[in-house]
Amino acid sequence: MLKVHTLKNGARVHLVPVEGTQATTLLVLFKVGSRNESLSVWGGSHFVEHLMFKGTKRRPKTIDISKELDRYGAEYNAYTGKDITGYYVKIESGHIDVAVDLLHDMLFHSAFNAKEMTREKGVIIEEIKMYEENPIMHIEDLIEEAMFDGHVLGRNIAGTAPVMRKMKRADVLRYHKNYYSPENMVIVVAGNVTSDVMEQLRQTFGKVGKKKVARSDEVFAGLTPRKIPRLRVQNKPLEQIQIAIGFPTPGRAHKDMDALRLLASILGGTMSSRLFIEVREKRGLCYTVRATVESYDDAGVFSIRAGLDAKRLREAIHVIKHEIIKVSKSGVLQKELTMAKDNLRGGMMLQLEDSSAMAEFVARQELFLHEVMVAQERMALFDAVTRADIARVAKDVLDLRLISIAGIGPFVSEKEFLKKLGL
């Protein structure tokens, strides 16, 4: 049974017992990411995430942190998104006190040593290069850059090398101080939850000073229809090009999001999906093709991504476009919808056997939706989606007048790319 607590400073805590495990995951999520950054601290959320592992007053060096967790075979990491930053430790339940003390120390007592910050800037610049030089990874940045052009959601999470080099320590500390606040934080303990963990949280996270967060969330106003797609191109001499096609969606709390996720599953979520069969199996035009939905508070992206034979790009785009138009006009079969629901249910049940996944499942709901459903309640919403719902959202969202397209391959210009697409 999930138990919900609120610490005196306003921090929300969820205890989520999971039977049959000796592992416990401590996850701390903050509602802050690249969409909250000004240009002077573009990449600052990601930079702060890195710096949390670079030493505290009590644990001055990185190795002081890693050795303490490595001693117990713990799994630990952190991640940054456009509207979220998370930190977790998964450890044998008898040592959860180590995870609580360590994460609290890292998140609220990091040293921000000037030399370490300079050194870590170099690490992040190399990470930026890694993403930019990996077409499969970078295509995800490009499609959102095309769709959200001119809006903060269109900026990549890690920032740019020039901005990272110029970023000032005082600005980073100010940014951390503003957003790393109890009211902007959710704590989840999942797995083998010990009886004393709440007291441990009260003595650590519960003593963090309460303060109001000065948020900066520029709302995305939406897109207007146009004849020519919004484009982004990266010129690389590749034989297998990467393509992403994107359509704007409502925000994560919108009533149609469940139908959109099921539509993505039917169109390109599995090896038996429409796009996989038509583009890969029947014609051999690609190795991978998939459809996904990425959501933020006020907007999202329904995307189709594929790795294609450069010489057969136009044919592949024609087939993908045909499937988009087909599902927009004719909807889906009942057996397809039933299979998509079974697929999502099975995937969710398998995933939530892990305490880390369970912690993430609960924390994201609390942080963004301010309510938490158990897996069965969540699946009930998917089960309630009808063929009529799928047909309606397909027609509304998969509107070719709102399309954005990104490509990485031997394209000298956007004009040449558009010509090769045959659009």
Cα 381 from chain centre: 22
Averaged confidence pLDDT in the chain: 95
CA–CA distance, 44 with 245 (Å, rounded to integer): 28
For domain 3-207, give the CATH number.
3.30.830.10
Question: Under the phi-then-psi rule, with left for phi > 0, alpha for psi from -120 to 50, and beta for the rest, what region is 21?
Answer: beta
Contact 112, 48 (CB under 8 A): no
Per-residue CA distances from 231 to 131, 282, 408 (Å) = 19, 28, 11
Structure confidence at residue 303 (pLDDT): 98
Where are the extended beta strands (E) located within 61-100? 75-80, 85-92
Per-residue CA distances from 330 to 100, 259, 301, 326, 327 (Å) = 53, 15, 22, 6, 5
CA–CA distance, 157 with 85 (Å, rounded to integer): 11
**Residues 6 or more apart from 282 whose CB is under 8 A from it?**
none
Structure confidence at residue 62 (pLDDT): 95
Cα 317 from chain centre: 27
Per-residue CA distances from 202 to 15, 85, 218, 295, 366 (Å) = 13, 22, 34, 33, 19
Structure confidence at residue 325 (pLDDT): 97
Give mean pLDDT, residues 371-388: 96
pLDDT digits (tens, 9 = 90+) for 55-103: 999 999 999 999 999 999 999 999 999 999 999 999 999 999 999 999 9
Which pLDDT band holds residue 162 (cuts at 50, 70, 90)?
very high
Give mean pLDDT, residues 212-235: 89
pLDDT digits (tens, 9 = 90+) for 167-201: 999 999 999 999 999 999 999 999 999 999 999 99
Structure confidence at residue 328 (pLDDT): 97
pLDDT digits (tens, 9 = 90+) for 317-371: 999 999 999 999 999 999 999 999 999 999 999 999 999 999 999 999 999 999 9
Contact 205, 5 (CB under 8 A): no
Element (DSSP H or E) covering residue 380: helix 375-383
Which pLDDT band holds residue 420 (cuts at 50, 70, 90)?
confident
Helices 114-132 and 169-179 sit at what angle, rounded to 10 degrees? 80
Percent residues over pLDDT 90 in the chain:
91
The domain ranges of the chain are: 3-207, 230-421
CATH superfamily of 230-421: Metalloenzyme, LuxS/M16 peptidase-like (3.30.830.10)
Torsion of CA 340, 344, 346, 347, to 10 degrees: 130
CA–CA distance, 334 with 311 (Å, rounded to integer): 36
In 3D, which of 211, 83, 71 has the Cα closest to residue 155? 83
Contact 368, 253 (CB under 8 A): yes
3-state secondary structure of 303: strand
Structure confidence at residue 214 (pLDDT): 83
Count CB atoms within 10 A of the CB of residue 12. Answer: 20
In 3D, which of 269, 321, 329 has the Cα closest to residue 293? 269
pLDDT at residue 316 is higher than 80: yes
Helices 257-268 and 313-330 sit at what angle, rounded to 10 degrees? 140
Which pLDDT band holds residue 422 (cuts at 50, 70, 90)?
confident
Structure confidence at residue 331 (pLDDT): 97
In 3D, which of 110, 100, 109 has the Cα closest to residue 7? 100
Give mean pLDDT, residues 144-164: 96
pLDDT at residue 419 is higher than 90: no
In 3D, which of 316, 398, 374, 382 has the Cα closest to residue 343? 382
CA–CA distance, 284 with 387 (Å, rounded to integer): 30
Structure confidence at residue 11 (pLDDT): 97
Asked if the domains at 3-207 and 230-421 fall in one CATH topology, the answer is yes
Give mean pLDDT, residues 129-151: 96
Name the residue with higher pLDDT: 19 or 217.
19
